[in-house]
Amino acid sequence: MTEFRFRPALIRLTSGQPVRLLLVNQGQIAHQFVTDYLRTVAVTVVDATMHVESSGLDIVRLEPGAMASIEFLPRSKGRFPFACTIEGHREAGMVWVLEVR
């Protein structure tokens, strides 16, 4: 994450294969996204201050310089768009797509 991009803007996963996404905010301000896809999926979140196993994840927010990993097993197939939900960031191009095949 940076101003105002997600890189890569497209992440391809295979259904049934566990993944770990490493998120890094390389920008100067906070960024976040709402994780509709993970709302009802078992997720492990690890960052500098916590290691949490959860039955679902609503939002990921990273302060500047922060890093977090999220581990989950993708099941639902399709193309799932995400955007930074801080005001104006989506409009500035801060979007990405999760593609699960």
Contact status, residue 34 vs residue 85, Cβ threshold 8 Å: yes
Piece of 9-17, 33-41, 52-60, 82-90 that binds Cu ion (CB under 5 A):
82-90
Q: Of these, 57, 84, 98, 100, which contacts Cu ion (CB under 5 A)? A: 84
Piece of 6-14, 48-56, 63-71, 80-88 that binds Cu ion (CB under 5 A):
80-88
Q: Of these, 38, 60, 68, 94, which contacts Cu ion (CB under 5 A)? A: 94
The closest alpha carbon to 43, from 23, 66, 65, belongs to 23
Which residue's CB atom is positioned nearest to Cu ion?
Answer: 84
Distances (CA, A) of 1 to 38, 44, 82: 19, 20, 12
In the range 6-65, which residues lie near Cu ion by CB under 5 A? 31
How much of the chain is helix, strand and coil, in % rounded to 5?
5, 50, 50
If one asks whether residue 5 binds Cu ion (CB under 5 A), the answer comes out as no
Rounded Cα–Cα distance for residues 85 and 4 (Å): 12
Rounded Cα–Cα distance for residues 12 and 21 (Å): 11
Shortest spacing between CB 77 and Cu ion, in angstroms:
27
Shortest spacing between CB 29 and Cu ion, in angstroms:
7
List contacts with Cu ion (CB under 5 A). 31, 84, 86, 89, 94
